[in-house]
Amino acid sequence: MNNRSQVWKFFSSVQLAIFTLSAISLTSIIGTIVPQDRSFAFYVEEYGEVTARFFQVLDIPDMYTSWWFLTLLGLLSANLIVCSIDRFPLAWKQVTLDQTSLSKDRLEKMAYTHVIRNASSTLATTLENALKKGGWKIAKKETKDGVITAAQKYGWSRTGVYIVHASILVIFAGAIVGHFFGFKGSVLIPETKDTDKVYASKTQAPLALGFTVRCDKFDIEFYDNGMPKEYTSRLTVLENGKEVLVKDIEVNHPLQYRGMTFYQSSYEGYRDFLITLTSTTDKSTKTFIAPFQQQIKWEGKDITMGIVNAEALRDRVVRMKVWIKSSQNQPITIMVDPQKPYSLEENGLPYTVSVKQMYATGLQVAKDPGVVLVYIGCFLMMVGLYIAFFMSHRRIWILTSTGESTDLLIAGTTNKNKLGFEKTFTELLQSITNTNG
């Protein structure tokens, strides 16, 4: 045996598969016990200096992307590839094999056999038609033992295992594509502000988006018991200053734009307020950021305003007292509920006002062109598992030998699901004993 074939044998062996799967399982446990992605200081405090250094050498703090863990995954992939190349041709041969070139001896040794002596001359045809009707592929040949009719079904189900194995490689490929061509980042955008970059999750390095995203509004809804019910952000995408897309996003309902996805992930409340004034005469509207208890002016409109007081429930402002003044009028102070418009016309001002606490929306931003591959892989895996476990390559032969009488030898075999095949086989036989007798 030469070296090449030994290496080949090693990489195609199921022993290696069992070793690799065990090794991945066992080492994976480490990362579920030792917290991942913390600072060196954290590990020193938690485990002591020596252990922390040891961890660092073995990449334990980031073990799922460490060289040795990736090597194990690489080994699994190599194993899958070599094993498939090694075995697939044989499996495929089984699918495409000429089923009519079997000797009588072979047929007699099949798992399921049945002999009918003195059969009527049409019986073989009856059987053949029954099989044809049931979707079996039929081939026929004259041999020295008689006429062989070979019927088979679901031959391609032998590829099920290979689909499962390939699906794992497709998922890995997706993960690799995501790693090299995608990114994960996050950004906090205060209401009314915009950003054209986000910050990489691991390094905090700024990443340019190539367009601008503005947060027009952020909202939280609460259940009666105070638990958050929904976070919503209205996002506007701007290309070269032009609005191209407006979308309300929620957790589980992200915004997708140019291959990037923006997920609602967190928020931050400020001690600032947003005051929106709408003129009832010219319909112009403007939103102002008003820090608590500071005066704001609407330039050119002769309006000054501010928030003089606010009531909060935990960190959430539930009512605010707004103060508005123009040079012609007495100052107005009214209590307002968040986001509810109040007309000021009774007080002699042609405006409606609405006020809310100011928030910043926390967005998770991801670009992952590999997800498509991962999903295709997942789909293939489920299809492959179904085929591998529940479908079987079934074969039935009818050997008709005509001497003094017509004798039929019916033989069958399946590579899996013996019970199911047995049922089909006996049903087939029953159908002819009925017609024959």
Partner 1 sequence: MDSSQLLGITTFTYLFSTLLYVAIFVFKAERLEKAATAFTVIALLIQTAGIALRWVESYQMGIGHAPLTNMYESVVFFAWTIIALYLIIEWKFKTRMIGAFAVPFAFLAMAYASFSTDISKSISPLVPALQSNWLIAHVVTCFIGYAAFAVAAGLGAMYLLKDKSGNNSLLERLPPLKVIDDITHKTMVFGFIWLSAGIITGAVWANSAWGTYWSWDPKETWSLITWFIYALTLHARYTRGWDGTRIAWLALIGFISVIFTYYGVNFLLSGLHSYGSN
Q: Which stretches of the chain bind ligand HEM, using CB under 6 A?
A: 14, 17, 76, 79-80, 83, 161, 164-165, 168, 385, 388-389
Phi, psi (rounded to 5 degrees) for 203 = -105, -10
Q: Whose Cβ is closer to partner 1: residue 41's or residue 227's? A: 227
Nearest CA to 130 out of 434, 436, 432 is that of 432
CB of residue 303 vs partner 1: minimum separation in angstroms?
37
Q: Distance between CA atoms of 265 and 205, rounded to whole angstroms?
A: 19
> Which residues, including other chains, have CB under 8 Å from residue 332's CB and lie 6 or more apart?
323, 324, 325, 344, 347, 349
Strand partners, 156: none
Q: Distance between CA atoms of 119 and 141, rounded to whole angstroms?
A: 19
Q: Distance between CA atoms of 288 and 148, rounded to whole angstroms?
A: 89
Residues 1-20 that bind partner 1 (CB under 8 A): 14, 17-18
CB 353 within 8 A of CB 344: yes
Q: Whose Cβ is closer to ligand HEM: residue 165's or residue 217's? A: 165
DSSP state letter for 64: G
Determine, following the binding rule CB under 8 A, whether residue 29 of this chain makes contact with partner 1: yes
Stretch near partner 1 under the rule CB under 8 A, chosen from 27-35, 50-58, 148-156, 298-306: 27-35
CB 33 within 8 A of CB 75: no
> Which residues, including other chains, have CB under 8 Å from residue 134's CB and lie 6 or more apart?
153
> Which residues, including other chains, have CB under 8 Å from residue 56's CB and lie 6 or more apart?
40, 43
Q: Which two tokens mark 344?
A: 């000021």
Residues 415-434 that bind partner 1 (CB under 8 A): none
Q: Distance between CA atoms of 198 and 285, rounded to whole angstroms?
A: 30
CB of residue 287 vs partner 1: minimum separation in angstroms?
26
Residue 180: which of ligand HEM, partner 1, none does it interact with, CB under 5 to 8 A by kind? none
Determine, following the binding rule CB under 8 A, whether residue 334 of this chain makes contact with partner 1: no
CB of residue 302 vs partner 1: minimum separation in angstroms?
43
Q: Whose Cβ is closer to partner 1: residue 2's or residue 32's? A: 32
Residue 176: which of ligand HEM, partner 1, none does it interact with, CB under 5 to 8 A by kind? none
Determine, following the binding rule CB under 8 A, whether residue 247 of this chain makes contact with partner 1: no
Q: Distance between CA atoms of 115 and 103, rounded to whole angstroms?
A: 15
**Helices marked H in 103-187 — which ranges?**
104-108, 123-133, 160-181
Q: Whose Cβ is closer to partner 1: residue 18's or residue 244's? A: 18
Residue 79: which of partner 1, ligand HEM, none does it interact with, CB under 5 to 8 A by kind? ligand HEM
Determine, following the binding rule CB under 8 A, whether residue 97 of this chain makes contact with partner 1: no
With CB under 8 A, what is the number of residues at the site for partner 1?
45
Helix axes 123-133, 418-436, angle to 10 degrees: 140
Q: Whose Cβ is closer to ligand HEM: residue 174's or residue 362's? A: 174
Among 43, 55, 218, 231, binds partner 1 (CB under 8 A): 231
Nearest CA to 73 out of 4, 32, 25 is that of 25
Q: Whose Cβ is closer to ligand HEM: residue 14's or residue 50's? A: 14
Q: Whose Cβ is closer to partner 1: residue 365's or residue 408's? A: 365
Q: Whose Cβ is closer to ligand HEM: residue 325's or residue 416's? A: 416
Determine, following the binding rule CB under 8 A, whether residue 229 of this chain makes contact with partner 1: yes
Q: Distance between CA atoms of 138 and 411, rounded to whole angstroms?
A: 14
Determine, following the binding rule CB under 8 A, whether residue 368 of this chain makes contact with partner 1: yes
Stretch near partner 1 under the rule CB under 8 A, chosen from 51-59, 190-198, 360-368, 403-411: 360-368
Per-residue binding string, partner 1, 136-175, x by CB under 8 A, is ---------------------------------------x
Residue 165: which of ligand HEM, partner 1, none does it interact with, CB under 5 to 8 A by kind? ligand HEM
The sign one gets for the Cα dihedral 201, 203, 204, 209 is negative
Q: Whose Cβ is closer to partner 1: residue 175's or residue 200's? A: 175
CB of residue 21 vs partner 1: minimum separation in angstroms?
5
Residue 80: which of partner 1, ligand HEM, none does it interact with, CB under 5 to 8 A by kind? ligand HEM
Among 36, 129, 333, 405, binds partner 1 (CB under 8 A): 36
Among 337, 341, 382, 405, binds partner 1 (CB under 8 A): 382
DSSP assignment of 373-436? HHHHHHHHHHHHHHHHHH---EEEEEEEEESSSEEEEEEEEESS-HHHHHHHHHHHHHHHHHHH
Determine, following the binding rule CB under 8 A, whether residue 376 of this chain makes contact with partner 1: no
